Structure 1
Amino acid sequence: MVRYSSEHKQQTRDSIVREAAVELRRSGPDKVSVALIMKRAGLTHGGFYAHFDSKEALLQTALQWMFTDRQNYFAGLLQRYGQQQGLSRYIDAYLSDMHRNHPESGCPLPALGADVSRLPQALQQAYQDGVASILQTFSQALPEFFQTQREQVARSAFAELSGAILIARSIHCPQEAGQWLRSSRESLKARLQLPLDNPEGQDHVSATE
């Protein structure tokens, strides 16, 4: 019998979680297949229970992971470029053609929002905790003059961000979808008094950032 190190087991578990996060955003929770996730992770279906007690436990972990991944991406932009420039770049990346075309590696809010009410309680809680965390980061990055209404402005901004992506994904014509994203980018950044243009272009939106 082959014995693997704890490091190898953790790496294998992480690989399963990443694949589950991709599939969850791509197909929705009702269509997630453990067999497919294990295959994409390069593992056998029978090895699943060495890492998770149930499919629900895997999905809960995947939800937590994808929000943490997006949070780290956001925080990295703020640390690298400063609050205003970092927030401006985050909006550019969020309202980009790449994010529209690749929901499997982007923000969980527009990818899963319609499914949350049908999820088990533990998964709903993981989703709500993730939303609260990313909203807190967003609110803290807002310019100083929003000091007394940071939470309200952050909620409104995220409603526009996720709503614009949802609409853009529902439109077949790429040019029309791009206009929706561009209009939302410009109006949101103007409302938040952020730089309209970033000198190095849009940042990449990827689950592997």
Structure 2
Amino acid sequence: MRYGKDHKQATRQRIVEAAGRRFKRDGIDGSGVASLMADAGLTNGAFYAHFASKEDLVATAVADQLRAQGQQFTELASGGGAEQIVRSYLSVRHRDNPEEGCPSAALLDEIGRCSDGTRRAYTDGLLATIDAILARSAPDDLQAARARTLSVFATMVGTLQLSRALADRDLADAVLEQGLRNVLALLGLEQRG
């Protein structure tokens, strides 16, 4: 049976979304093609009809995850500004559900070891996310605002990664709470509640 172009695109998107979740949960190196395709409800043989290689899928999934994160940040910002983004990002729920969260916090160490294509997809996706947020605030000096925002984001990512890595739950919670305070202070926002 022949399927139309829409079916192929929908299948490809299903693979990309399933891979994004699996990569964030198990890592890129910990996710084989067989498990990725099983997550999408497909056989291994269907993989090469959609992607040239696993690295091609990785780059596509990373870009897709960052695009989705950018949309989420934009929605959060429209509802509560930068503070809402920070509170959602540095939350226990986000920390405890990596497969549903930030691709940076889950995958940066592996992305740094990926091909130039994947690192470029990551860079472009991250900058698009950051620039979309900055466009809403229309700063006078976009370059300085971008550098400052990337620094704040790096603090958020590092806080989340450290909190996830700690075996002591109380200490992990304390790191998350202090990171929240630090980021809000960097942004000039007062700590509430």
Mapped pair 1:158 → 2:157: no
Amino acid at match of 2:183: L
User: Which residue does 1:76 correspond to in 2?
Assistant: 75
Structure 2 residues without counterparts, runs of 5 or longer: none
| Contact 2:15–2:37 under 8 Å retained in 1 | yes
Shift of 1:66: 0.5
Q: Equivalents in 1 of 2:75, 2:120: separation in Å?
A: 25
Q: Equivalents in 1 of 2:67, 2:21: separation in Å?
A: 14
Higher relative contact order structure (alpha carbons within 8 Å, sequence separation ≥ 6):
1
Alignment of 1:91-170 (within 5 A): 91-140=86-135, 149-170=144-165
Please say which of residues 86-95 and 101-110 is displaced more in the overlay.
101-110
Shift of 1:141: 5.5
Amino acid at match of 1:102: N
| Contact 1:138–1:154 under 8 Å retained in 2 | no
User: Which residue does 1:201 correspond to in 2?
Assistant: none
Amino acid at match of 1:128: T
Distance of aligned partners of 1:145 and 1:46 in 2 relative to their CA distance in 1, 3 Å threshold: closer
Q: Cα deviation per residue 1:22-71 (whole Å; 9 max; x = unaligned)?
A: 12222222222111111111111111122122212111111110010101
Q: Equivalents in 2 of 1:148, 1:128: separation in Å?
A: 15
User: Which residue does 2:179 correspond to in 1?
Assistant: 184
Amino acid at match of 1:40: D
Q: Equivalents in 2 of 1:104, 1:133: separation in Å?
A: 21
Q: Equivalents in 2 of 1:11, 1:143: separation in Å?
A: 36
User: Which residue does 1:30 correspond to in 2?
Assistant: 29
| Contact 1:91–1:185 under 8 Å retained in 2 | yes
Q: Cα deviation per residue 1:158-200 (whole Å; 9 max; x = unaligned)?
A: 12101101110111122221111111112321331335348xx
Please say which of residues 68-77 and 43-52 is displaced more in the overlay.
43-52
Q: Equivalents in 1 of 2:168, 2:119: separation in Å?
A: 33
Q: Equivalents in 1 of 2:118, 2:191: separation in Å?
A: 37
Distance of aligned partners of 1:46 and 1:153 in 2 relative to their CA distance in 1, 3 Å threshold: same
Please say which of residues 3-12 and 164-173 is displaced more in the overlay.
3-12
Task: Please state whether the residue corresponding to 1:118 is helix, strand or coil.
Answer: coil
Mapped pair 1:40 → 2:53: no
- Aligned residues between the structures: 193
Amino acid at match of 1:177: A
Q: Equivalents in 1 of 2:140, 2:192: separation in Å?
A: 21
Distance of aligned partners of 1:192 and 1:47 in 2 relative to their CA distance in 1, 3 Å threshold: same
Identical residues among aligned pairs (%): 32
Q: CA RMSD in A?
A: 2.3
Amino acid at match of 1:124: R
Q: Equivalents in 1 of 2:73, 2:84: separation in Å?
A: 9
User: Which residue does 2:16 correspond to in 1?
Assistant: 17
Distance of aligned partners of 1:61 and 1:148 in 2 relative to their CA distance in 1, 3 Å threshold: closer
Task: Please state whether the residue corresponding to 2:191 is helix, strand or coil.
Answer: coil
